[in-house]
Structure 1
């Protein structure tokens, strides 16, 4: 720790969903280790996720508890929630102005583009945090920057229209239906969409951007973003993951929340399996398999005769067919709710990972050396899957037809 960072105060503003919140908490942990003082904006419902850091850094980590604002009027639920966060502008200003040693910078999620205006108002620097990779962000920014021109290319709304990005390294191409559903819902003149788009464009005028990625993985895309920003204040600081330690319920196994099943029960089960013999299946904290998709998956698992760990949402657990557990017997370990994914992937028994290719899951699999079977469903997941399969060669496609299609059970088995 240098004297230049000691007692330097940073305001950290994450987005509440786990896929955005957890990696920014991981970054906060590193900031604290380097001696910075951090105040994190957080809601009461997410406070349990912050408590481990608070107990480890009681004097240098502080919380700014703010209630989740009521959604703003918008035809799109996500846009309504995101634009509503701007209601926190004045409460943060009031807190800042009353603080004896206010922060010198704000690090905020890339969806919170309005915090660029907040930082300007406060006279401090704003750094964008991207929980997505640099390739995904490059496409994301271009889509929102050029939304009107891009929509004009496909004025008849052809779902199979191929959109090219020739200026981005490797010249990615995506069919129209694989583009973000939120972006495809854009309505010109709608206050919510226009406000959100303004914030995304504001990201590019921020002081810098931090990506949860690393140079050997996405160096070309980091360089591309530097050219887009016109400066070098673009950093790849990932993977933002806990170091591999002995199993500790209060350590990485508790990252992101408490597991529904005691971790020791799972790891005792895994310890009995051969190296790289177990398939781990999880679709992240937001995606949920519907009844048809779950049937396809469980039929494949029953046919495969492989050992597996299946993590499902409570909301989707009812779609597990009756009698499936008895059918697979001791071959399967089923989680309902949150699972300690990073520790699972790091276990020597895990050989394959069926994943939706969310960026956190993708990074965790790559750094754990586990081959991925890709089943993307939305957002940046199709782009991540293409990176994994076509560029890195560390995965194989299971299904790339989106959430309205399912793979063949026999082929999956």
Structure 2
């Protein structure tokens, strides 16, 4: 930025889900703290307490605190997906559209209105907001490029099933590199919930399609992992080169993971580290399923049985409410550690004793594991997780251990075999590939790396907007 040049003002609008808000706020902190852009984050009152710890570490980031729009169909005070049941997700999407007017009035009243809007992929209504302000809108994707390509294809093509009762009917994506094919039940639940003519569904569809006309796209990924799909997005998604891969995004201050920052950590990192210090290198399996996925009681029982029969050491971060069998912890004492609630995930993955990770393949968990160089055992549940799992398998750093979905239950013996192999000799090659990817992942965000260069280019384009 030239001396004396006005700093660009970026209005950041997240979507209130932990896996969406936190990486976008990490990016906001980078833009403000490292590159000295003026950043304002729009947040509702109910979400402010969840974000305050992060925002307090970046004092230059301003907040625009707004009351949550009234919606009689949503419980009062529940403004984040972590507190909602699935049928309420669509209602949340549409309710957030009510922020359009208050944000527009705020921006027009400021002496320094925003030069650009940077908003989550799930708040597509901000495209119209940006247009009314006369500024560019950039889409932020907390998911990877491959998953985004699949999601975009779904909303643009709206494929139909020939047999509406067959959840295993195959859907092909011939325009995406590699021509992936998925079962109907593996596609985005949000997309599968679409009902033609329903006001909520049509609002969501309109927003997803509005993303296609955005000025730019920022993706929480890195080119070494998804270069082919990033090129696809440039050519097919936007039709322009303004696609920047800036990941893996991580907290600017500290090492808390996205999952960890979703609530209070139940066990201090020091206590977990002390337990791991007594384990051989690469001998421990870490098990966690993020902030949204909840194992059914049969699935939790199968997981417990598989861990016990594997003979492997493990750390299981069991989300509150998970039906861990009562006698399991007693039988696994000394060999396994069960953490009830939130775990210090980044610290666990970074420990040399951890050799593999049983995961739902949420994107934040995927790239945290990639940065740590840990191999993955994929148990996808929904959203973008099936595409993420396929990406990991094709990269040679992951293997599927469950068909996936909320009702799927793995065979305990097959799971036990996969767990044992993942930290044994049969999994050595996969672990070595994961370590190599970990090195490349960290290189991407260091000075001269691909993500660092893309971040600098992004800042350069944003800075230009302040002179227009």
Does structure 1 conserve the Cα–Cα contact (< 8 Å) formed by 2:257 and 2:346? no
Following superposition of structure 1 onto structure 2, how do residues 1-400 of structure 1 map, counting pairs within 5 Å? Answer: 3=3, 7-32=7-32, 33-58=34-59, 60-71=60-71, 76-147=87-158, 150-151=159-160, 153-154=161-162, 156-228=164-236, 229-242=238-251, 251-253=254-256, 256=261, 257-316=263-322, 319-389=323-393, 391-400=394-403
Does structure 2 conserve the Cα–Cα contact (< 8 Å) formed by 1:106 and 1:119? yes
Aligned length: 400
Cα RMSD between the aligned structures?
2.0
Q: Which range moved further: 114-123 or 256-265?
A: 256-265
Does structure 2 conserve the Cα–Cα contact (< 8 Å) formed by 1:40 and 1:64? yes
Pair 157,254 (structure 1): closer, same or farther in 2 beyond 3 Å: closer
Shift of 1:401: 4.1
Deviation readout 1:82-128 (Å, 9 max, x if unpaired):
01101111111121122221211111100100000000111111100
Distance 2:227 2:344 in 1: 29
- Per the normalisation by structure 1, the TM-score is 0.92
- Per the normalisation by structure 2, the TM-score is 0.81
SS at match of 1:314: coil
Does structure 2 conserve the Cα–Cα contact (< 8 Å) formed by 1:372 and 1:394? yes
Pair 311,68 (structure 1): closer, same or farther in 2 beyond 3 Å: farther
Distance 1:47 1:271 in 2: 37
Does structure 2 conserve the Cα–Cα contact (< 8 Å) formed by 1:70 and 1:81? no
Consecutive unaligned residues of structure 1, counting only runs of 5 or more, are 244-249
Distance 2:191 2:318 in 1: 27
**Cross-structure match for 2:408:** 405
Shift of 1:263: 1.8
Shift of 1:254: 7.0
Distance 1:97 1:78 in 2: 30
Shift of 1:406: 1.1
Distance 1:69 1:105 in 2: 23
Shift of 1:314: 1.1
Deviation readout 1:191-248 (Å, 9 max, x if unpaired):
11111111111001111110101111111111111112111011111111248xxxxx
Distance 2:273 2:293 in 1: 25
**Cross-structure match for 2:441:** none
SS at match of 2:101: helix
SS at match of 1:267: helix
Shift of 1:330: 2.0
Distance 2:362 2:250 in 1: 15
Distance 2:309 2:5 in 1: 57
Distance 1:226 1:160 in 2: 31
Distance 1:8 1:354 in 2: 42
Does structure 1 conserve the Cα–Cα contact (< 8 Å) formed by 2:257 and 2:345? no
Shift of 1:160: 1.8
Q: Which range moved further: 193-202 or 340-349?
A: 340-349
SS at match of 1:333: strand
Shift of 1:321: 1.0
Distance 1:209 1:98 in 2: 28
Does structure 2 conserve the Cα–Cα contact (< 8 Å) formed by 1:72 and 1:80? no
Shift of 1:3: 4.5
Distance 1:57 1:355 in 2: 30
Does structure 2 conserve the Cα–Cα contact (< 8 Å) formed by 1:12 and 1:39? yes
Q: Which range moved further: 97-106 or 120-129?
A: 97-106
Shift of 1:156: 3.8
Bigger relative contact order, structure 1 or 2, given CA contacts below 8 A and separation 6+? 2
